[in-house]
């Protein structure tokens, strides 16, 4: 059983979570100390066995948890805040349960992803979640390049000490005017939502930011593809520099958002 836990305000805990904490035979917790604090705040005493279940021990814990499930025990999985398996431990356990046809249920509740999306003021009819950006600058810029023409709003997490560098790279790749929202300490005492262009958000973050961070990035505005003649000329220039026609056409077409085959055929037809 997966259970979402409060992001900050314990009053967001559901009655079902309180009941499950008090009755589950096994509780797998990302941080057992935080679990004890949460249970105390909710005035519930876990009656079952409590085991740690964080990234470094997740794989090692699977056999024991699966054995408990096979024996008919209720295993409750909780992470520090929000929904298990969403950039938190849980996916491997769920996958293992599915593989062994063990029933998996979920007690829904708080999620930083949907909470940030709702308060961002950005389009929410279509969105994607992209986890954490890469830590290295080159990989991170390539990661943002993949979002250059993303038609959906994108939500991702970031650590406070990397936020400034991440937003600076976003400006470099996506431009200073791309709209975004940085959500800090959601549901907690010092909750803050900063909205604006990436440029102004990067300047704000450069001064230093603390707390749990969720970033919401606006979808890209539709771009008009350059004239086919210009794309053909670019491909021919790259071929003259030594590239294969097929490779050059594919890369130019992808960057321009046009059909690779159409561009390749246009290059061939013009000799």
Using the predicted structure, report yes or no on whether residue 223 has a pLDDT greater than 80. no
Looking at residue 256, its pLDDT comes to 79
Give me the half-sphere count of Cα atoms (radius 13 Å) on the Cβ side of residue 235: 32
Looking at residue 242, its pLDDT comes to 92
Using the predicted structure, report yes or no on whether residue 12 has a pLDDT greater than 90. yes
145-190 pLDDT, tens per residue?
A: 999 989 999 999 999 999 999 999 999 999 999 999 999 999 999 9
In this prediction, residues 195-214 reach a mean pLDDT of: 97
Looking at residue 222, its pLDDT comes to 76
Same fold, 2-107 and 112-217: no
The answer to whether the CB of 196 falls within 8 A of the CB of 182 is no
In this prediction, residues 242-248 reach a mean pLDDT of: 93
85-106 pLDDT, tens per residue?
A: 999 999 999 999 999 999 999 9
Using the predicted structure, report yes or no on whether residue 196 has a pLDDT greater than 90. yes
SS (H, E, C) the chain: CEECECCCCHHHCCHHHHHHHHHCCEEEECCHHHHHHHHHHCCCCCCCEEEECCHHHHHHHHHHHHHHHHCCCCEEEECCCECCCCCCCCHHHHHHHHHCCCCCCEECCCCHHHHHHHHHCCCCCCEEECCCCCCCHHHHHHHHHCCCCCCCEEEEEECCCCHHHHHHHHHHHHCCCCEEEEEECCCCCCCEEEEEEHHHHHHHHCCCCCCCEEEEECCCCCCCCCCHHHHHHHHHHHHHCCCCHHHHHHHHHHHHCCCHHHHHHHHHHCC
In this prediction, residues 3-12 reach a mean pLDDT of: 96
d(C-alpha 65, C-alpha 74), whole Å? 10
128-139 pLDDT, tens per residue?
A: 999 999 999 999
64-88 pLDDT, tens per residue?
A: 999 999 999 999 999 999 999 999 9
Looking at residue 226, its pLDDT comes to 80
Candidates 3.30.950.10, 3.40.50.10490, 1.20.140.10, 1.20.120.1770; CATH matching 112-217 = 3.30.950.10
CATH class of 2-107: alpha beta
- For residue 65, count CB atoms less than 10 angstroms from its CB and return exposed for 0-12, middle for 13-18, buried for 19 or more: buried
Domain boundaries, given as residue ranges, for the chain = 2-107, 112-217, 228-269
Q: Determine what percent of the chain is predicted with pLDDT higher than 90.
A: 91
Reported pTM: 0.81
């Amino acid at each position: 059983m997966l259970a979402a836990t409060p992001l900050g305000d314990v009053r967001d805990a559901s009655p079902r979570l309180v009941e499950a904490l008090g009755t589950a035979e096994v509780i797998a917790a990302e941080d057992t100390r935080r679990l004890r604090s949460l249970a105390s705040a909710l005035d519930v005493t876990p009656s079952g066995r409590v085991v740690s279940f964080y990234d470094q021990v997740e794989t090692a814990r699977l056999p024991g948890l699966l054995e408990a499930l096979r024996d008919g025990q209720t295993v409750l999985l909780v992470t520090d805040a929000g929904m298990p398996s969403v950039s938190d431990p849980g996916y491997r356990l769920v996958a293992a349960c599915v593989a062994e046809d063990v029933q998996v249920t979920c007690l829904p509740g708080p999620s930083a992803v949907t909470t940030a999306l709702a308060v961002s003021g950005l389009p929410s009819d279509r969105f994607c979640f992209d986890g954490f950006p890469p830590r290295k600058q080159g990989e991170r810029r390539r990661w943002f390049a993949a979002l250059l023409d993303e038609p959906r709003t994108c939500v991702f997490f970031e650590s406070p000490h990397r936020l400034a560098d991440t937003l600076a790279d976003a400006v470099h790749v996506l431009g200073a005017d791309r709209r975004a929202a940085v959500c800090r300490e959601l549901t907690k005492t010092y909750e803050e939502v900063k909205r604006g262009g990436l440029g102004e958000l990067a300047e704000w973050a450069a001064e230093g930011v603390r707390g749990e961070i969720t970033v919401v990035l606006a979808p890209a505005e539709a771009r008009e593809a350059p004239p086919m003649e210009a794309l053909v000329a670019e491909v021919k220039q790259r071929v003259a520099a030594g590239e294969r026609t097929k490779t050059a056409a594919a890369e130019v077409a992808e960057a321009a958002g046009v059909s690779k085959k159409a561009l390749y055929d246009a290059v061939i037809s013009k000799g």
